[in-house]
Structure 1
């Protein structure tokens, strides 16, 4: 038994020593004439990172999904929906998690920021602090990763402040200590959510977004995803690197391919100005969806 484990670890190591960003993978994507365009390895920032550094950024804990057929039950008759067009002032900017496995915190606070602005009709239009989740949510592991449901449960029971109160400083990979005051010394004001929910299929995801705004999603990242440039991502080549959480803002269809519109937290120079599209049913994208209702604070002096 042990011998088999050691051998499989050795095999895994020799495979990992070929970098996940490489010409072969890009060529396989091009040869597949698929629905997305890869980027040139030379211009790919991931090419200059070690496999360890890359895996450290993919901190979301998910059970790898079966590539089962996507559950299309209850699909809305709307072929296209984009939160950015529906609520232009309430969908906040693309963020950057840096070299920290904090995507679970970004996807959560980003979706919650949008939901709070939408629920309050713009009276509370703030970017919430992923840093606070990274440093304070002891049920998760900061830059070493986390679970989506635990992040939302923390926002429900504890709450999170705004980004202008506690700004992001874990980009270098250190989770930091939980602050007791805002960066400027003022008292922390916490925003909360209630009714944490999980979508079971594509139709439920669509209903949740149409009704109350973006949700948090997570999917299995394969090596070829690191070479994504534009288009509708479908896994073509390469092994699993880890789990990644993002914010789902809508969906669409192109030449018969249904896709989700996702906001990533790798800055605006990545992908389609920081966003990407991923085909329905791809990499377990519908199987790890969490959202909640924003609690709109009663009127108080800030």
Structure 2
């Protein structure tokens, strides 16, 4: 009896160990096939056709296309994602009890709410300083909205790119949205008429005292800077005061976005970009933001895109401020 019991234990242990060795072998075999995670090279294609085909095969929320991205390499893609993320330096806007009583609609679009304040998106061309383009666009919209369209000029992104040289702002090489808004709080921004912007025209001096045509420069400021780190706070701010700027993570698949509601599906980190959030919506139970880039009208939906709430940190790094109307011409609001 004892011998039989002992032999049985040996058989059970041998059987268990055989199974463990088999599972270990299978695991190692799979790891060998998949190989180690390889950091993409700058010369690698950021969104090869096989990736695009896979994206469209495994999900149906959004459409990927090679139409814009083409044979773009990772090195080229990084130029479109040169914004930087830093620790938050400005306070979250305190809505107090208002947030509890504010009725947030299921969908909202600044373009239909304030059509007289809608302007084309800037195109960054070979200098994609998204942090500056989105800031200039957002300030332009906010001045117009605050004055009900009475003060409707366009602000110059080039002024921010050339003049805001406080680190870590590096012009076409990158910058942060919060520091840009701080610059517009302390120094300001001028109009496109004063400091015209033409794609590729970056070799300029900052017009500290006068406009390009020799007239005296006028600077417009934001009264303060607030950050927004939750969907409800962003929705309330847009509903009350207009678009905000946000910085989001850019993955390789985002470069191939053509339409639909973007959710990161595949592909490695490319960098960060700053965009203008103008509204939100809901489709089949998926909440999404409506935002615009400075990547040109041939990308996405004429430069715009929809992105699901919570994706790529877009609703954790918002920034904006109220316009300072003290030095604009006397108007009735």
- Which of the five TM-score ranges fits, normalised by the shorter chain? 0.7 to 0.9
Q: Is the 8 A contact 2:46 2:72 kept in 1?
A: no
Q: Comparing 106-115 with 178-187, which one deviates more in the overlay?
A: 178-187
Compare the two structures and name the one with the higher helix fraction.
Answer: 2
Change over 3 Å in CA distance of 1:175–1:19 after alignment to 2? farther
Is 1:111 matched up with 2:160? Answer: no
Report SS of the residue matched to 1:125: coil
Q: Is the 8 A contact 2:220 2:327 kept in 1?
A: no
Q: CA deviation at 1:11?
A: 4.5
For 2:121, the equivalent position in structure 1 comes to 94
Q: CA deviation at 1:174?
A: 4.2
Change over 3 Å in CA distance of 1:137–1:175 after alignment to 2? farther
Q: Which structure would you say has the larger RCO, counting Cα contacts within 8 Å and 6 or more residues apart?
A: 1
The runs of 4+ residues in structure 1 deviating greater than 3 Å are 73-77, 171-176, 297-301
Q: CA deviation at 1:26?
A: 0.4
For 2:64, the equivalent position in structure 1 comes to 38
Looking at structure 2, the residues matched to 11 and 275 of structure 1 have their Cα atoms a distance apart, in angstroms, of 32
* Pairing partner for 1:147 from 176, 183, 204: 176
Query: What's the CA shift string for 1:1-36, capped at 9, x where partnerless?
Result: xxxxxxxxx95354x432002112101211112311
Is 1:161 matched up with 2:184? Answer: no
Tell me the TM-score normalized by structure 2.
0.78
Is 1:57 matched up with 2:80? Answer: yes
Aligned length: 279
For 1:27, the equivalent position in structure 2 comes to 53
* Pairing partner for 2:165 from 132, 138, 146: 138
Structure 2 unaligned spans of 5+: 1-36, 88-98
Q: CA deviation at 1:279?
A: 0.4
Tell me the TM-score normalized by structure 1.
0.86
Which structure is larger by alpha-carbon Rg, 1 or 2? 2
Change over 3 Å in CA distance of 1:166–1:48 after alignment to 2? farther
Q: Is the 8 A contact 1:134 1:142 kept in 2?
A: yes
Q: CA deviation at 1:184?
A: 2.4
Looking at structure 2, the residues matched to 54 and 254 of structure 1 have their Cα atoms a distance apart, in angstroms, of 29
For 2:3, the equivalent position in structure 1 comes to none
Q: Is the 8 A contact 1:143 1:173 kept in 2?
A: no
Give runs of aligned pairs for residues 66-81 of structure 1, distance below 5 A. Answer: 77-81=104-108
Q: Is the 8 A contact 2:104 2:235 kept in 1?
A: no
Q: CA deviation at 1:121?
A: 1.6
Report SS of the residue matched to 1:97: coil
Looking at structure 2, the residues matched to 279 and 173 of structure 1 have their Cα atoms a distance apart, in angstroms, of 35
Looking at structure 1, the residues matched to 265 and 40 of structure 2 have their Cα atoms a distance apart, in angstroms, of 22
